[in-house]
């Protein structure tokens, strides 16, 4: 599957991922980076602590139990959010 399979808008642009963002990737599929034709240089962090501030989190889950367990921690870390295709933004608080 490629990012052009359904849209001409590059995936990183569609998701709002920008160069220099700190990005947390949770449970990404093995082919995740192959979906992007435009992934900018990013800083990734994968520990879920509930304490880090990150610009973007892409969280994949197959079940409500994991969602209910991790989402409260992830929400504490997020500056910009994409979840189930919905995007929201809140001011950075440090």
DSSP letter for 50, please. S
Q: Using one digit for the tens of pLDDT, what is the confidence trace for 19-32?
A: 988 888 999 999 99
pLDDT for res 46: 75
Q: What is the mean pLDDT of residues 45-58?
A: 81
Any domain includes 93: no
pLDDT for res 51: 77
Distance CA 47, CA 13 (A): 25
User: In terms of residue numbers, what domain contains 51?
Assistant: 3-87
Any domain includes 37: yes
Residue 1 has pLDDT above 70, yes or no: no
pLDDT for res 84: 46
Distance CA 43, CA 46 (A): 10
Does the predicted model carry a pTM greater than 0.75? no
Greater confidence (3 vs 38) lies with 38
Q: How many domains, the chain?
A: 1
Distance CA 90, CA 80 (A): 7
Any domain includes 94: no
């Amino acid at each position: 599957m490629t990012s052009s399979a359904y849209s001409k808008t590059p995936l990183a642009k569609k998701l709002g991922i920008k160069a220099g963002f700190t990005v947390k990737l949770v449970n990404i599929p093995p082919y995740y980076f192959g979906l992007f034709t435009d992934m900018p240089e990013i800083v990734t962090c994968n520990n879920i602590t509930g304490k880090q501030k990150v610009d973007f989190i892409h969280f994949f889950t197959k079940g409500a139990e994991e969602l209910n367990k991790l989402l409260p921690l992830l929400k504490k870390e997020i500056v910009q959010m994409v979840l189930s295709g919905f995007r929201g933004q809140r001011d950075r608080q440090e």
